[in-house]
Structure 1
Amino acid sequence: MRSPVTDFIANPTSHDFNALALSVFAYQFEHNAPYQRFCLTRDKTPATVTDWHEIPAVPTVAFKELDLTCGPPEKIFLTSGTTRGQEKRGRHLVPDLTLYHASALAHFAACILPDQRHLRMLALIPSPDTRPQSSLTQMAAWVMAAWGAPGSAYFIDLTGVHIEAFAEAVARAQQEGTPVCILAITSALVAFFDWCEANGGQFALPGGSRIMDTGGNKGLGRPISRQGFLRSCWKYLKVAGYYCVNEYGMTEMASQFYDNVLYNRFRRSNEPRYKIAPPWVRTLVVDPETLEEVPAGQPGILRHFDLANCGSVMAIQTDDVGYLVGDGFEITGRVPGAEARGCALVLEEILGSKA
């Protein structure tokens, strides 16, 4: 089953999404026993499902209780611990990292590197040896290996977040006239902005520099609006908003979503900022009570269908609230009562381990 999905990622015109999604569903129904049981309770089988919209979506909480995989895992990714503790963490068992790797690199290139540049990458993200079971650190490691120029480095490890070393690296890039790509947990970059405010730090990164941030305001740092974050990127780094791209990803998914701003800039498009998916992913917004689709623009909870999840479960029901816009979607929050999660909580774990 992997080969046609790999082909689709490399060339999205090579297959029809609906036909391929139905094939992936049939494969997962046959090889993923817990998922098959889940589908049967809903009277959904490959014989009765005729459109990708009908494929049963597994709630993310199921990844805490079940091994949802079609084969022995090559790697297991764990969700970040929550503020309630780490006794229950979601597990994404990935039988083959090939699709994960292909998906992560292809959409990153489209949304962060549309100019196909190799850049020095400064990562306010934990190094892979610090968080070996984090999907974020795995994605960052692949990205840095593929496109990181000399001088690329991590600034979070088991000893903490190294803000001053990061500031020195930013200053060095400015002095050398070397554009950089900053990969950061949002709240870690906010901590850097706070350091700049306290220490009179203001930098002017060379043209072509860009920022990819991920996560939210939980964990280290202070709450900040998106517009406030973008203003700080300009104030302290001289990186314009259209070079600042927010990433949204989930441990349970092999693919990621990104703001469309840099992608649009290189296509000379003036569409408003929102999240866009790669061609091998579809997103629905559903009513939290009925789980039925809602019209574009109406808020609901996000449901993703990711063909790169071929080896586990393609259809994922999230607790994220958002709405469809253009050819993508925007996120507005979480379902009330849903536990905190995400990349920002990685920082809480690292800082907690020092206590």
Structure 2
Amino acid sequence: MKLNSSVKNITALNNLTAITKEDFTRVALNIFQFQHRHNPVYHQFCNALHINPASVTAINQIPFLPVAFFKTHTIATTTFEPAAVFESSGTTQTINSKHFVKDIALYEESFNTAFRLFYGDPKDWCIIALLPSYLERSNSSLIMMADKLIEQSAHAQSGFYLHDLEKLHYTITSLENQQQKTLLLGVTFALLDFAEQYPMHLQYTTIMETGGMKGRRREMTRQEVHDILCTSFKVNVVHSEYGMTELLSQAYSTGHGIFSCPPWMKVLVREEDDPLTVLSANKENIVSGAVNIIDLANIYSCSFIATDDAAKLYPDESFEILGRLDNSDIRGCSLLSL
């Protein structure tokens, strides 16, 4: 089966910021048909649900592959030699997910376009990544994203920090004195360590947490974490990034834990006790449930993923992550609990 023009445009990520709701639905349905035919695991999954692909004419009819399949199967659409294999952090008690990536350029175009959409040109920022747990292992999609954004920033003080919080404090103090717009991208436990040891008044620094306690601290809600960071750094809001190994796209929150997706990504919620039932938010209704994600950049893996997260979905399609579903594996990059 040849890719039709809509799918070809997605593989190149052309003009994604101009996609309308109608465009999204049409392209998502085209990708569903493509992945049903060319992804053996997804094909078998749909067959097990007795899904007739010809009868799928709306997004809420598309089957969503449980994210756990990335732990136990090779999720690949078409046959290819992967350019990279992203691996989840997990814990010593869990099996890590693996995402086989056909084309790194697709991932780079996705995170670059999304970052520019939410934050503008990386060159306008000094970008500092406080990601010690991710730096200590290989095959992290988050590290690759941070590394490329740091490279594009081209600021002399942009870079990664492992455990030297004293040096980080010196660097951020210097940047604040220069009134330099700075992004501090950090894993949750490291940001909390930094906040405890070096509280300061940040005026030109945006703090962005990526989630992740990794057993280093007691579990907290996102609101608890943000309250501590806001108090320690005297900022009004903390930003957040919502992504995972199994996705090539990210959603961002510019405050209060409310996330928005780039145009080629959509979050839906499903009934927790009926995984095939997708709930809809409307002008009068906010719905809560388990998170389904459509990521059109995932064309060569699976674009339709049922996650182990719970969320509240708002009428404008923004969403708030509430925590993990009961009995789901603890994911290293998402340990915020209810």
TM range (shorter): 0.7 to 0.9
Identity between Structure 1 and Structure 2 (%): 31
Does 2:263 correspond to 1:258?
no
Does 2:207 correspond to 1:211?
yes
Q: Residues of 2 paired with 1:295 and 1:288: CA distance?
A: 14
State the Cα distance separating 1:60 from its structure 2 match.
Answer: 0.8
Q: Residues of 2 paired with 1:251 and 1:130: CA distance?
A: 16
**Contact between 1:76 and 1:92, CA under 8 Å: does it hold in 2?**
yes
Where 1:299 maps in the other structure, the secondary structure is strand
Q: Which residue in 2 is equivalent to 1:168? A: 170
**Contact between 1:9 and 1:103, CA under 8 Å: does it hold in 2?**
no
State the Cα distance separating 1:137 from its structure 2 match.
Answer: 0.8
Runs of 4+ in 1 over 6 A off after TM superposition: none
Does 2:305 correspond to 1:324?
no
Where 1:69 maps in the other structure, the secondary structure is coil
The one-letter amino acid of 1:214's match is T
Task: Please point out which of 324, 328, 331 is paired with 1:334.
Answer: 324
Does 2:149 correspond to 1:143?
yes
**Contact between 1:22 and 1:46, CA under 8 Å: does it hold in 2?**
no
The equivalences for 1:101-112 within 5 A come to 101-111=108-118
State the Cα distance separating 1:13 from its structure 2 match.
Answer: 4.9
Q: Deviations over 1:118-158 (max 9, x none)?
A: 211111014987433111111211222223522101112xx
State the Cα distance separating 1:173 from its structure 2 match.
Answer: 1.5
**Contact between 2:29 and 2:59, CA under 8 Å: does it hold in 1?**
yes
Does 2:30 correspond to 1:23?
yes
Q: Deviations over 1:94-121 (max 9, x none)?
A: 111222111111222222x147762111
Task: Please point out which of 132, 137, 153 is paired with 1:131.
Answer: 137
**Contact between 1:120 and 1:180, CA under 8 Å: does it hold in 2?**
yes
Q: Residues of 2 paired with 1:92 and 1:341: CA distance?
A: 15
State the Cα distance separating 1:64 from its structure 2 match.
Answer: 1.1
Q: Residues of 2 paired with 1:110 and 1:13: CA distance?
A: 16
- Runs of 5+ in structure 2 lacking a partner? none
State the Cα distance separating 1:83 from its structure 2 match.
Answer: 4.4
Q: Which residue in 2 is equivalent to 1:290? A: 274
Q: Which residue in 2 is equivalent to 1:62? A: 69
**Contact between 1:78 and 1:90, CA under 8 Å: does it hold in 2?**
yes
Measured at CA, do residues 230 and 34 of structure 1 come closer, stay the same or move farther in structure 2, by a change above 3 Å? closer
State the Cα distance separating 1:38 from its structure 2 match.
Answer: 1.2
Q: Residues of 2 paired with 1:155 and 1:117: CA distance?
A: 19
The one-letter amino acid of 2:137's match is R
State the Cα distance separating 1:3 from its structure 2 match.
Answer: 3.2
State the Cα distance separating 1:32 from its structure 2 match.
Answer: 1.2
Aligned length: 320
Q: Which residue in 2 is equivalent to 1:79? A: 88
Does 2:39 correspond to 1:32?
yes
Task: Please point out which of 239, 245, 260 is paired with 1:276.
Answer: 260
**Contact between 1:56 and 1:315, CA under 8 Å: does it hold in 2?**
yes
The one-letter amino acid of 1:220's match is R
Q: Residues of 2 paired with 1:225 and 1:336: CA distance?
A: 15
TM-score normalised according to structure 2 size: 0.86
**Contact between 1:170 and 1:203, CA under 8 Å: does it hold in 2?**
no
Measured at CA, do residues 63 and 230 of structure 1 come closer, stay the same or move farther in structure 2, by a change above 3 Å? closer
Does 2:106 correspond to 1:99?
yes
**Contact between 2:99 and 2:246, CA under 8 Å: does it hold in 1?**
yes
State the Cα distance separating 1:273 from its structure 2 match.
Answer: 5.1
State the Cα distance separating 1:183 from its structure 2 match.
Answer: 0.8
Q: Residues of 2 paired with 1:12 and 1:186: CA distance?
A: 33
Measured at CA, do residues 132 and 3 of structure 1 come closer, stay the same or move farther in structure 2, by a change above 3 Å? farther
State the Cα distance separating 1:337 from its structure 2 match.
Answer: 1.4
- Runs of 5+ in structure 1 lacking a partner? 197-201, 262-271, 346-355
Q: Residues of 2 paired with 1:20 and 1:240: CA distance?
A: 39
Q: Residues of 2 paired with 1:315 and 1:77: CA distance?
A: 18
Superposition RMSD in Å: 2.5
Q: Residues of 1 paired with 2:227 and 2:47: CA distance?
A: 50
Q: Residues of 2 paired with 1:81 and 1:154: CA distance?
A: 21
The one-letter amino acid of 2:84's match is K
Where 2:239 maps in the other structure, the secondary structure is strand
